[in-house]
Amino acid sequence: MKKILLSGVKPTGRPHIGNYFGAMRQFVQLLNSGDYECYFFIADYHALNLIQNAEEMKRNTLDLAIDYLAIGLDPNKATLFKQSDISAHTELAWIFDTIVTVPYLQRAHAYKDAVAKNKEINVGTFNYPVLMAADILLYDADVVPVGQDQKQHVEYARDIAQKFNNTFCNGNECDQGGVFKLPEPLIMEDVATVPGIDGRKMSKSYGNTIELFASRADIEKAVMSIVTDSDSEIPKNVYAIHKLFKSESELKPLYEANKGKYKVLKEALIEDIGVFIKPLREKRAELAKDENAVLKVLADGADKAKIKADAKLSLAKKAIGVQVN
Ligand code: ADP
Ligand code: TRP
């Protein structure tokens, strides 16, 4: 039996090269390793905390599905679906809500960050880790590849699984091992945080990204605005992005030979990003021509995922006593 791997991505905007090197590329590698039974889903209900416009939600969801197909997540090898197609996610989240305490959720980093920014927080944002636990536990996931920022959420899923098993699986039919398997995070940390064009972490929320499917003109615009510090001959922000695309042994002589020549180095970076992005962009354009085929991939994925999720939900409902047989 292969280990089960699951991860979700929110459809909140165009992916950037930080997302690619920090997460998306690893998904493809893990899938192609053949070591796992893989589930990848679009976390649209998580995104609803941020995207509250139907057209935008539809567009982002379809775009993300196309992106994932374009980078090589093969629907014949992995189950690709969207969260909202499987009602077991929200149903199980409610069950978990009844065993998770408020102080426990108040300790979540994402919640604390939002509080620190004095944001008025909706219940969905507060409950975010509970829905995420349901996402993970419904599929008996062994490993959950996520960025460092999501590690705590996977730990929450473990805790919630354990708490459910302890609360409901004593001396009844779910006794052997409990209903839920304890997942492990797989922290994709061999890639350091990709810096944005301003030197901070590349992030949609900072507006400092280089988009993964960017046109040549967009790449040029982004690279030319990479902030360069005048106190060093090697522009460190340019170099940090460049080394995603070329080995350091290739880069060292180039940067050595062009000390202080920021424009030349940026032009070399534009070239290298362009070579890397071109085939991805072409594949994406091809896929985008047939949106119905993409929607069909998600529908077929949902059919498969639903069987598994519903079976697990049914076990949970038996364990809590709301389902008799
Ligand atoms: P953003 O900060 O742009 O909103 P997300 O929070 O949606 O990005 O992140 C999606 C995935 O991409 C996560 O697994 C996250 O760890 C990874 N990721 C995002 N930004 C970076 C970055 N700058 N470097 C490496 N990985 C990143
Ligand atoms: N919270 C994750 C993020 O922001 C997305 C996500 C939702 C997820 N459900 C998940 C990731 C389940 C892994 C497993 O990136």
Tens digit of each residue's pLDDT (9 = 90 or more) over 67-78: 999 999 999 999
pLDDT attached to residue 190 = 55
Q: What percent of the chain has pLDDT over 70?
A: 96
Q: Which residue has the tokens 């605005």?
A: 225
Which atom of ligand 2 is the closest one to the Cα of 141? 14
Tens digit of each residue's pLDDT (9 = 90 or more) over 237-295: 899 999 999 999 999 999 999 988 899 999 999 999 999 999 999 999 999 999 999 99
Which atom of ligand 1 is the closest one to the Cα of 149? 16
Confidence of residue 174 (pLDDT cuts 50, 70, 90): low
Tens digit of each residue's pLDDT (9 = 90 or more) over 181-198: 999 888 776 566 888 999
Protein residue whose Cα sits closest to atom 4 of ligand 1: 204
Kindly give the pairing relationship between strand 3-9 and strand 36-42: parallel
Taking the centre of ligand 2 as the mean of its atom positions, its distance from the CA of residue 275, in whole angstroms, is 30
Q: Comparing C-alpha atoms, which of 53, 58, 54, 137 is closest to residue 91?
A: 137
CA of 206: how far to CAs of 83, 260, 302, in Å?
Answer: 27, 27, 33
Please check the confidence at residue 55 and state whether its pLDDT lies above 90: yes
Q: Is 146 in the pocket of ligand 2 (CB under 6 A)?
A: yes
Taking the centre of ligand 1 as the mean of its atom positions, its distance from the CA of residue 19, in whole angstroms, is 5
Tens digit of each residue's pLDDT (9 = 90 or more) over 292-315: 999 999 999 999 999 999 999 999
Write the DSSP assignment of 78-122 as a string of letters: SEEEEGGG-THHHHHHHHHHTTS-HHHHHT-HHHHHHHHTT----
Sorted by where each starts, the structural domains of the chain and their CATH numbers stand as 3-192+290-320 (3.40.50.620), 204-286 (1.10.240.10)
Q: Is 82 in the pocket of ligand 2 (CB under 6 A)?
A: no
